[in-house]
Structure formats: structure tokens, C-alpha cells
Chain A
Amino acid sequence: MISLARVGKTFKTRRGGHVQALDDVTISVGADEFVAIVGASGCGKSTLLRMVAGLVQPDIGHLTLDGKVVTQATEGTAMVFQAPTLLPWMNVERNVTFPLSLSGRDVPEARERGRALLRAAGLAGFEQRMPRELSGGMQQRVAICRGLVQKPRILLMDEPFGALDALTREEMSLALLELWQANPMAVIFVTHSISEAVLLADRVIVMSPRPGRVAEIVEVDLPRPRSFDQEASAEFHRCSKLIRDRIYGGGSRAH
């Protein structure tokens, strides 16, 4: 469904130099697959996600969705950013349906779907609140609802829980898995937490920095539904170790 073939991207820096963000990246993601991308900062994982979102174009190689080359944002693709990026002048409910209102799909059923998502995200009763009245975790949940309300076939998440505290993170991870299992779709989830990646994903793509390359693709063979109990399993440890070794370049310096 999502297919990147030998994709490369180089950015110009302000001083006239060049930074190679991605080099020779080949990945494919299936229709209902949950893929996590991990890597140190500067490995181009955000660039990769923004490319799939249609925000940046590859310099070389091909990026296709269902065989079509991506040149701009595609219908059926939703993105959740690291920051909630809510519109401060709209209440929670209108923030959730904002993407629909842009394309005239802000119909009563869609609004009802938005409210149902907010309930599922534990935000019942907060529909009429303004974003600044909400905590960071609640704001991010609103942002995730805003992504899901579009009924995307592809959900792109750029470190969506990065700004949250550890407890909220775990709670949100499980909530996301539940939502994903109820509405299967392709998810690309960028994170720098190895355990988060293993817990959530079917496959974890490990990237190496400067230039961003695919260092390893780890299949996570854990049964679903997933839970934090599985963190004790041998498979969880195998995957985590593999990923960690790849990120730190093989040796087991730490631990």
C-alpha cells in the first residue's frame, strides 16, 4: 500500500551546506499494518513521515500510495504531530472536526463520530472546553481524535506521545492499540522509545543517522491484543535487544 523505493532526500542548510536526511530507503507498509520507526535523532525518521504525508518531496527514488506517486497530501492520510497543534480559537469538538470542515464533510454524522471518539479517548464532558483549559495529555488525545475522525486509511504519528509523562504515555499507547484494533488501518509510528515501538508495532524499522538509512527491520512476533505484561516475555527482550544493538552500532555498551 505505502511503498518507498530507494528514496533519498537532501536538505540545504542556511550556510549553504547540505545535510543528507535520507539515503536509499526502501520500505513498504501493508494496509492494516502497524509499523514503528525508531532511531536516534537526526536519522530522518520525521522526514520520512512528512514525505508520506506529502509535506516534503523525495529528491530521488519513488514514493507511492496504492501505486500513485505522492506529490501532496493525499485523501485518507491523517497525521498526528508531536505537539497537539490545536487551534486555540476553537473548542475541543470543533478542533476534532476541523479537517472535515475544510472539505465540507462536517456533517452531523461526522460530528457524532467526533464525539464518540472523544468519549473513547476519555474526554467526555470536555467537548465545549477550549484547548488551553486542557492538560498536555488531554490536548494530545484531542489531536489523535482529530486524526482518526477523518477515517484515515493511513495514520502517520510523529512521536505523538513524546511530550507526555511516562504514565500518560503507557495509558495512551494502550488506548491507541484499542482504537486501531477497532478500526484497522496502516499506521506509521515514529518514536525514540524502543519499548513503545515493540509494544505497539507489527514491525519495527530501525534507522541509522547521517544519512538516514534503514539499519534493520525487526518483526515483532507477539500476540495481540498486546499488554504491558508482555514486556517480560522472551520475544519482547529479543526484539528490544536487536533494536538497541542496531541503534548503538552492535556493541552492548550500556546495560
Chain B
Amino acid sequence: MLISTGAWTRRNLPVILSTLSLLLGWEIVCRAFGIRPFLLPTPSAIWTAVVPVWPNIAMHTAVTLRTVMLGLLASIVVSLPLAMLIASSRTVSAAIYPMLVLTQSVPKVALAPILLVALGANEFSRVIITFLVAFFPLVVSSVAGLLATPPELVELGRTCRATRVQELLRIRLPYALPFVFGGLRVAAALCVVGAVVAEFVGADSGLGYLIQTSMAFFRTPVAFGAVVILAIMGIALFQLVEITERLIVPWSSNLDNNFNEEK
């Protein structure tokens, strides 16, 4: 995984250039059309607004990050066993899947205020909301992976007299891991959404809370700063999932191209 700086620059140059030109275009448009800062602040105005209150923003970021990570953890802890249960028995699948779809057809944003009243305006209920927003794609892709295991591998297990638990843990689960990570990427992004929704509804800290209170006083640049930090958080989580996947699932075909490149 050692990449020379030259290669790194070459690979990331397009995204660096596109980001820079986006910021530049934004700045120019705002100045040229005289857009008022409380409607759309320029990137430089956001920067000057955020820097002086940096410790405060860092605190809010830490709070949100904590909710996001706990929500992601809860999603993993619940989704994997649930997926295994669904994949291992048709009866369980028939009983649980409709309920899962039901939880997904209810808009979680609408549920958030109700849950906060029921569970109290504390971190626990924010983690629950985050979890509810994020866990579904993880379950779905894990089940898909467990069921996508080639029948030959399952038969190999049978001829080796593997028990059903062994078949699940030693053959199906490792095979499903690339699928699990696919779901995990989506879940990581959704966790950020879930945490912010929960903070909008009931919180006294966090980036979602910061956005709401800033806008109440028309401090738009600070709100924008919080949005940018949320975006960075989402990207970082996505990268974290990808790096973990490389470490845990080095055989995954998703990573084949990179593997050959570095060989």
C-alpha cells in the first residue's frame, strides 16, 4: 500500500482541481451578483466565521461524531445477526422481512420527534434514530451476500459434514463479507443523516443543533461551516470503511484492480 507522492498526486489531481474550481466559482458568483451573506455566504466568509469559534465547533463535531459512530456500531451489531437469521431460515425470513420493510416505509424523520418524546431527549434516543435510518441497507446487502454463496461451496461444506452453524459462519459469512462492506458504505453515509435529523429534533449540542441555532440568528456562515464539516465526516467514514475492507477482505474482487496495479 505504499504509494509514491507522485502517484498520489496523479490519482487525486482531478478531484483537487474540481473542488478548487467549485470553491472559486462559488466565491466569484457570490461577489459578482452581490448575494447577501445570510442567504449564501462566500467560502471565504465561511472560513472567517468558523475560525474564531473553532473550539466550539470542534466540540459540536465530537458530539455528532460520537452519535454517528454509536449508531453505526448499533447497525452492525443488529444487522449481521439479523441477516444471518433471515438467510438461514425461510420461515424466519417470511416473518421478519415484512416488518423490516415496514420500518423502512415509515419516514424516520417523522418518527424522530415521537421517539424523542417517548425515549427522552438524550443521546440514547439520538443513537436509536441514527440506527433506524442506517441499518436497513446493511441488512439487505448482508442477506444478499449470504444467499449469493455459490452452491458448490455449500455442497463442499455438506460433504465435509459441516453443521448448519459452521456452514453459516465458516462458509457463507466470509463469502458475504464484500457484500456486507457494500452495505456498510451506504450505512455510514446514512448514519450522518440520521444523527443530524435527531439533533434537529432534540439536542443541546452537535452539528445539527449548531446549524439550527445559527440559522435562528441568521449566522448563515457558521451553519454552512457545519454543513461542510458534516460532508467531510461522511467522506472520512466512507474511506474508513474502504480501508477496513482492504484489511479484512483482501480477496474481494472489488479490490482486484488495485491489487494488480500494485503488484
Contact = CB atoms under 8 A, between A and B. Distances in A.
B263 to A, nearest CB: 10
A83 B159 contact: no
Contacts of B85: none
B158 interface: yes
A86 to B, nearest CB: 9
Contact of B174 (A55, A79, A89): A89
Contacts of A75: 161
B152 A85 contact: yes
B233 interface: no
Contacts of B153: 85, 87
Contact of B160 (A73, A83, A89, A132): A73
A53 B157 CA distance: 12
A87 B159 contact: no
B251 A73 contact: no
Given A87-B171, A89-B251, A102 B158 contact: no
Contacts of A137: none
B161 A87 contact: no
A102 B156 contact: no
Given A85-B152, A87-B174, A89-B174, A98 B160 contact: yes
Interface string A109-129: 000000000000000000000
Contact of A102 (B152, B162, B251): B162
Interface in A120-168: 130, 132, 150
B154 to A, nearest CB: 10
A114 B4 CA distance: 40
Nearest to A79: B159
Contacts of A132: 251
A137 to B, nearest CB: 18
Nearest to A150: B160
Please classify the interface of chain A as helix (H, G, I), strand (E, B), loop, or mixed, using the class held by over half of its residues: loop
A88 B170 contact: no
Contacts of B171: 87
B166 interface: yes
B204 interface: no
A219 to B, nearest CB: 29
Contact of A130 (B155, B177, B249, B251): B251
Contacts of B177: 89
A81 B161 contact: no
Interface in A33-53: 53
B159 A78 contact: yes
Contacts of B150: 85
A73 B152 contact: no
Contacts of B161: 72-73, 75, 102-103
A54 interface: yes
Interface residues of B, number: 19
Most buried by B among A54, A98, A99, A102: A102
A170 B170 CA distance: 34
B155 A81 contact: yes
Contacts of A79: 156, 159
Interface in A45-80: 53-55, 72-73, 75, 77-79
B159 A102 contact: no
Contacts of B155: 55, 81, 85
A55 B161 CA distance: 10
Interface in B134-179: 150, 152-153, 155-162, 166, 170-171, 174-175, 177
A151 to B, nearest CB: 13
A55 B158 contact: yes
A242 B177 CA distance: 51
A99 B251 contact: no
Nearest to B170: A102
Given A87-B153, A87-B174, A102-B166, A77 B251 contact: no
Nearest to B152: A85
Given A88-B251, A89-B174, A130-B251, A99 B160 contact: yes
B159 A54 contact: yes
A54 B170 CA distance: 21
A55 B159 contact: yes
Interface in A194-209: none
A155 B150 CA distance: 23
Closest 3 CB pairs of A and B: A99-B160, A79-B159, A85-B152
Interface of A: 53-55, 72-73, 75, 77-79, 81, 83, 85, 87-89, 98-99, 101-103, 130, 132, 150
8 contacts: A54-B159, A75-B161, A78-B159, A79-B159, A81-B152, A85-B152, A88-B251, A89-B249
Given A53-B159, A75-B161, 8 more contacts: A73-B161, A81-B152, A81-B156, A88-B175, A89-B175, A89-B251, A102-B166, A102-B170
